[in-house]
Structure 1
Amino acid sequence: MPRGRPPLRIGAHGKITRTSIGNGTWLARCRFRDDDGVVRIVERQTPAGKDDRYGKLAEDALLEAIEDRRTPTNSEIDGTTRVSALCRIHLQRLEEDGRSSVTLDTYRFAVGKLEKKIGALRVEEADGGRIDKAIRAMRQDHGATMARQAKTVLRGALQLAVLAGAMDRNPVADVSRIESKARPKGAAAVTADQLVNLLVDIRQSDAKYDDGRTLAEYCRDADLADPIVMFVGTGLRRSELMALRWEDIDEREKLARIHAKVVRVKGIGLVRVEDTKTDAGARLLPLPQFVMSMLAARSLDPRPSNDGVIFPSTTGTLRDPSNFGKQWRKVREHFGLPDTSSHSFRKSLATLIDDASLSARVGADHLGHAHVSMTQDRYFGRGRQHPEVAAMLDRTLVQK
C-alpha cells in the first residue's frame, strides 16, 4: 500500500514553487509546519519595484518570512535573532509556567500589534531608543494599557537574550514610564443607603423599563436580582461568582468556598477553571444572612445547569461574565446608579469594611487581594470628610 507524503518536522518547510504573475513579479509559496504543529501555506511576492527575472527575489523573501516564523531554541539565540521570535518563546514559557489563558490571550494580542512596530528588529538592533519609540507608538495607537502589556512581554523576551549572552543588559530598563493621558476612572463606589435601596428595588420596583416591563420584572427575567444580592453580600469578582457551585456553599457554617473562575478561552469558549486570580483568591467567605436567605429561596427553584453552578445562563451553560455586565448596564441608570459596574459592589464592600474600622488586612483577605496595599490604595474610599480628625485636634491641642 503506497505511503502518503511524509510529515514535515516542526519548523521545516516543503518544496518551494515559483509562479510568474506578470510584469517581472513572481509568487513563491510552500508548506510550513508552525510551532503549534499545524501545516500552513506561506507565500511571498517579489518585493515592490524589483525586477525578478526568474523568481529568485520572491523565494528569498519567502525564506526570510519562514525564518521569522521559526522559534529558535535557547542555544540558537544570538544577535541576529528577531525580537518577535523571542516574544514567542517568552509566551510559550509563560504558558508552561501555568499563566492563565486570559492573560496569555491578552499578551498575544498586544504582541500582534507590537510586531507591526518592531517585527523585523533583531536583538543586536534592540537598543533602548528603538524600544522606547515602539512602546510610545503603541500608546499613541492603542492606548497606555496595551503599551504596558507590550512592555511587559518585551522585558521578559529580551531577558532571554541577556541570559543567552546575546546582549549585556535588558534595554527595556531604559524605556520611559508609560503615563496615561487621563487619570484612571475606576469603578464608581455605591453608598450604604444606595445599596439598601437597590436590594429592595431590584425585586419590588414597579418603575417601567424601556420595553414596558417593570424594573423588577426585567431583573427577574434576566436573572439579575439574585446575582446582585450575591455581589453586594460578598464582593466577589464576576468570574468567581459565575463559577460558584451549590457544592461550594456550606449552609451550616454559612460559608462559600471560592476556588474557581469562569473565563473565555480563545478557540474554545467559556470554561470553568479551578484557579483564582491570585493565590489569596482561594478563600472561605462568611455569608451574611440576607445572602443565605436568597440562596435558600433559589435552591427551591434552581436553574438547570450543566456544571452545577448557582448562576448559569438561561440555557444551562456557563454564564458569560461579560454578558452579565451588559445586562446590568442596560438597567443600572433606572436604579439611579448610572456609573456602577459589578466591580462597584466589590469596591463598596471594601469601603464599608473601612468605615467599620476593620483593618485593611481583613479587607484584603475577604476580597482575595494578594497585597494589603492594593486594598488600601484602590478599594478603600478616599476623599471623604473625617470630622473625627477635627474632634481629635480639639481634644489634643486646645488648652483647657
Structure 2
Amino acid sequence: MPPGTWGKISVTRTKTGTYQAEARYALFSGRVAKQRARAHSESAARTALIQKLQALKGSDVGDGELTPQRSIAELAAFWLKEKEVDNKVSANSLRAYRSVVNNQVLPAIGQRRIADCRTSVIDRVIKDRAATGADVTKLRNALHQMFGVAVRHDAIPANPVKEVARISRPRKEITYLDLEQVNQVRALIDTEMKRKRPGPRMSADLRDIVDLMLATGCRIGEAAGFIYPEIDLSSETPTLTVSGTIVTETGKGTFRQPWTKSDAGYRTLFLPPFAVDILMRRMIESPANRNGAVFTTRNGTWRQVSNWERLWNRVVDGTAYDWVTFHTFRKSVATLIDQTVDSKAAQAQLGHANEDITLEHYIHKAKVAPDLTDYLERFRPPITPKT
C-alpha cells in the first residue's frame, strides 16, 4: 500500500451497542497500522473513520513531506526553505521571493489547501493582481516554482500555473544611447569630476566603470566586481571573464559573490582597445588590494552598488539625461551589436540564457518593412505623351 492510503473499511457492532469502523492505513514510514473510529450508527462510524484517515494523511508527513491537505502558507515556507539552502540563490533574490510570498501570495490564498488550488484559482489570483496595474511577472514566477515543488512531492498531479492565461502588457519602448549621446553623457561625468563642492572630489572611477560597461555590456554589479586575475591583457586578443557580482547583505556587508545572475552569465569577453587602455592604466596607477579588484573604496574594500548609483545620480540629476541608468548602457551595447552583427551575438555578450530576453528587453528595434520597392514601382503612373 502506498503511504497515505488505506484498505477496505469494515464495520462491526460492539458489545456496548456502538459501531466500530476499522481499516488498515499505510504510514509515511511504510508501516501499516489499523485505524479505528466508533459511533452510534454504522454509517456514522464509517464517516468518522474516513475523516480520521483523511486527517491522518494530512498530518502523517514524516520529514516535512508535502500533501494535498497542506496549506499554501506551508507550501510557501517549504519552498523558501529550499531556496535558503540553494547556494546559487543570492540574498537579494531571497528577499524578493519572501516579499512576493508575504505581500502577494499569502494574502490571496495562504489558507487554501494545495489540493484546492486549481488553474482557475491561480488564474484569478494573477488577474486580480494585474487589474491593479501591477506587474505580475514575479508573482507568476514564484507560484510556478512553488507548485513545481508540490508536483515533485506528489501533492498535486500537475502544475496549475502552466495553463494560466498570459497577461498581455503593452511593450515598453526600449531606451538606449546612440554614439553621440554616449559622448554627451561622458562630458557630463567630466564636468561633475571638475566641479568644486564640499567634500572629496569625484575620482575617475565613475568614468572608467561607465566606459568598461560600454566596452563589455556588463551589469553594474558585474563591472563593480571585475578582478585582475580574470583579466588577460597580455594576449593577442585581450579578454575579461565575468564570474561574479557585488552584493550587500545584512550581517555580511558588501562582498563579491563568486557567481553571476545565471549560468549563462559566466562568460569570457573580448576587450576592445579602449577598454585595454583603461585597465592597463588602472593596473599601473591604482594601489594593490587583497581582492585583486579593479574598483575599490579608499580603504581597498568592495564598493556597494548603491554607492555607484549615488555617484551616477549626482551626474545626471537635473540634466536632459536624468532618464539614463547604468542599465541603459547595457541596452545601448545590445542595440549596437544587434544593428552591426545580430541579436544572437548580443545575447552572448550580455550573458542571457535566452535570446528572447535580449530581444524583448534590451534591443531597440525600429519597425523596418522589407524592401518591396521593385513591386511597388509597378504603381508608377504611366508616362503621358506630350502633345
Question: What TM-score results when the alignment is normalised by the length of structure 2?
Answer: 0.69
2:284 is matched with 300
Residues 213-267 of structure 1, C-alpha deviations (whole Å, 9 max, x = no match) = 8xxx96437x311111111221111111111112222111221111111123354
Question: Could you say which residue in structure 2 is the equivalent of 1:32?
Answer: none
* Contact 2:227 2:292 (8 Å CA) reproduced: yes
For 1:263, the equivalent position in structure 2 comes to 247
* Alignment equivalent of 2:159, drawn from 152, 170, 190: 170
In the alignment, what sits opposite 1:91? 80
> Number of residue pairs matched?
316
Alignment of 1:321-400 (within 5 A): 321-333=305-317, 336-356=320-340, 358-383=341-366, 392-394=371-373, 398=377
Residue of structure 1 equivalent to 2:54? none
Going from structure 1 to structure 2, the CA distance change for 1:373 and 1:79 (only over 3 Å counts) comes to closer
Structure 1 contact 195–232 (Cα < 8 Å) conserved: no
Larger Rg: 2
Deviations along 1:113-166, whole A, 9 cap, x unmatched? 22233222222432344434444454567932xx43233232333344444444
Match of 2:102 in 1: 112
Match of 1:126 in 2: 117
Q: 1:288 aligns with which of 249, 272, 279?
A: 272
Q: CA 1:134–1:376 in structure 2 vs 1: closer, same or farther (change >3 Å)?
A: closer
What's the CA shift for 1:396? Answer: 6.9
Worse-superposed segment, 373-382 or 362-371:
373-382
8 Å contact kept, 1:189–1:344: yes
Superposed CA deviations along residues 144-194 of structure 1, whole A, max 9, x for unmatched, are: 2xx4323323233334444444434433345443455x65455x2001112
Q: Is the 8 A contact 2:343 2:358 kept in 1?
A: yes
Q: Which residue of 1 aligns with 2:228?
A: 246
Distance of 1:369 and 1:71 partners within structure 2: 43
- SS of the equivalent of 1:348 reads helix
**Counterpart position of 2:179:** 192
In 2, the alpha carbon distance for the partners of 1:353 and 1:267 equals 40
Question: Could you tell me how far apart the structure 1 residues matched to 2:312 and 2:66 are?
Answer: 50
Question: CA 1:334 to 1:194, structure 2 compared with 1: closer, same or farther past 3 Å?
Answer: farther
Distance 1:128 1:202 in 2: 52
Where in structure 2 are there 5+ consecutive unaligned residues? 1-58, 381-387
1:328 match: secondary structure: helix
Distance in 1 (alpha carbons) for counterparts of 2:110 and 2:227: 45
Counterpart for residue 7 of structure 1: none
Would the alpha carbon gap of residues 255 and 268 (structure 1) be closer, same or farther in structure 2, given more than 3 Å must change?
A: same
Tell me by how many angstroms 1:381 deviates: 2.0
Kept after mapping to 2: 8 A contact 1:87/1:153: no
Which amino acid counterpart does residue 239 of structure 2 have in structure 1?
A: L
Identity of aligned residues (%): 26
Q: Flag the 1:218–1:125 CA change in 2: closer, same or farther, 3 A.
A: same
Say what the alpha-carbon RMSD is for the aligned residues: 3.4
SS in 1 for 2:291: coil
For residues 124 and 277 of structure 2, the distance between their equivalents in structure 1, rounded to whole angstroms, comes to: 57
* Contact persistence 1:240–1:262 (CA under 8 A): yes
Are 2:217 and 2:329, in contact at CA under 8 Å, matched by a contact in 1? yes
